[in-house]
Structure 1
Amino acid sequence: MGDLLALIAELDDLNLFIHHKRNIVLFDKVNSDWYIPPDLAYAYHMNEERLKLFLEEKSGGNIYWKPNELSIDGKRSELNPPFRYHIFKEQYGINTSLEQISCIPDLMIHYLLLYNLSMIARYETEWWFDLIKTAADDTYPFIHTFLEITEIKCPRMIYHFLMKRCTL
């Protein structure tokens, strides 16, 4: 569950507060282009050219260079995973750890986490009770915040998925 929670962009501020590290690097938008910080190449232990090829391969997107920067053509309406969209900040981002990069769509990540939580609620009632009563670790804030985010984000993701299917 921790690996899946690390892929949710909206949980990054909570992760920074609790674990003192970021899981997602958000991109700045200038005009219609998304600018990727050059530090991401160093985090992935790649040079910028290799990062460009890697991101093109993973996303199937149109990525081009600006002087000393990697930028993504923002004229595309949507970027595919491994890029993640932060619904509240209205920015795209990508995981800081190459090990956590996943090409699983956001809607599937939310579904998997909700399914897992439903199984815990059904079959691990003692654990759930201890979590709510004691909140001894950082699990409860992540679950609570995830559920709040999912309540807002999932209907929008389902709507976009269905609209994309209707136009095909």
Structure 2
Amino acid sequence: MKNKEINVLYTYLQSQQTAQQFLYDCYQNLDGVEASAKSYENCNSFMYYLDHGIQFYENGKNLDILFQPIMFFYGMIHLLKANLLTIRPDYPESTTILAHGVSSRKRKKKDYSFMDDEVKTQQNGLFPYFSKHLFSVSQAPFEKFKMEDLLGLIPEVSSLFTLQGQKEMITVGEVGMSELHFPNAILDNYHLTAKSFTQRINAYLPVIEQTEINKNSFCIKLSVPLHKPSGPFFTHASNNLIYFPFHRRKYLLNSEVMVHYLLLYNLSMLCRYESEWWGDLLSAKSEIDYPFITYFLQNTAEKIPLLLEEKLLERTSNHG
């Protein structure tokens, strides 16, 4: 992930000709789709999803933090819809998938803490739909997600937890390398042997050649370098280090995009419907929530457009 490269593909696709050709190439890989007709039919929607998504982000970054959760959430939704249109030519197939697919609980006015708050996933709506079609997650492993747990999964934000003595994510390697190093302490957290742990993460890795177990750590050697970490392996945007959840309870979601969506959904709801709490947070800055929320918003504004651009680039590699 390199920030300077962002918007290259987004910019390229800002014409009917390039958008239609891109969709045509994507649809050529799909069975039972009339690629020429469907790419022509969808190219304007595709182009506008991308354009509006980027504009939400760019304008959001220039606005006061008061409005940023809404701008970034809807920017993300537009970029997700553009991605979906490349593999689901009839999207949206029904009105049930137009809902957000997540709900937030009713808040108690007194002693409310964002870190302790939860969101609940639903069976229908955009969240389960894009999770299934973009990230092959048919069902989220849990129904409810705590905000502190979600924030701890984001490599850049996990460094804030480190400052208060919490170890949420650990670095296990670097993108493009063929070795992963884990501390033996992680085996205690997951209640697994090195062999069982390796079997659990095997599906997200190239062929494992061997596992070397040492006194304090173990090393997983891969047959080929790991260029596109997935599953529970998340990547830091600026240094390309690969992170892994240190605690079993944080082994939650198989895509960082899903994590950002849940956090932005809840923040956008707070921003819209809990004006007093949101206003107090931003003016008084009295709660620990404040640095975590502001740092997350800075991070998500840059990282999600990158991650979803990478997802689009996967389509280009699929058809050469």
Q: Aligning the two structures, in what range does the TM-score lie when normalised by the shorter sequence? A: 0.7 to 0.9
Aligned mates of 1:31, 1:86 — CA distance in 2: 13
Unmatched tracts of structure 2, length 5 or more: 1-146
Is 1:70–2:216 an aligned residue pair?
A: no
Q: Counterpart of 2:25? A: none
Distance 1:3 1:79, change over 3 A: same
Is 1:148–2:298 an aligned residue pair?
A: yes
TM-score (norm 1): 0.88
Report which stretch shifted further, 133-142 or 31-40. 31-40
**Cα shift readout 1:10-55 (whole Å, capped 9, x = no counterpart):** 111111113x111001113498223222322232121110110111
Q: Counterpart of 1:17? A: 163
Work out which structure has the larger RCO, using CA pairs closer than 8 Å and 6 or more positions apart in sequence. 1
User: Which of 191, 212, 217 in structure 2 is aligned with 1:45?
Assistant: 191
Distance 1:115 1:72, change over 3 A: farther
Aligned-partner residue type, residue 154 of structure 1: I
Counting only pairs closer than 5 Å after superposition, residues 1-168 of structure 1 correspond to structure 2 as 1-18=147-164, 20-29=165-174, 32-39=177-184, 40-57=186-203, 59=204, 61-68=206-213, 69-73=218-222, 75-168=225-318
Please say which structure displays the higher CA radius of gyration.
2
Report which stretch shifted further, 70-79 or 106-115. 70-79
Equivalent residues of 1:25, 1:94 under 8 A apart: yes
Equivalent residues of 1:83, 1:92 under 8 A apart: yes
- The percent of aligned pairs where both chains have the same amino acid is 28
Offset of 1:133 from its aligned partner? 2.0
SS at match of 2:235: strand
SS at match of 2:266: helix
**Alpha-carbon RMSD:** 2.1
Aligned-partner residue type, residue 71 of structure 1: I
Equivalent residues of 2:234, 2:242 under 8 A apart: yes
Equivalent residues of 1:63, 1:70 under 8 A apart: no
**Cα shift readout 1:55-77 (whole Å, capped 9, x = no counterpart):** 114x2543342432332535242
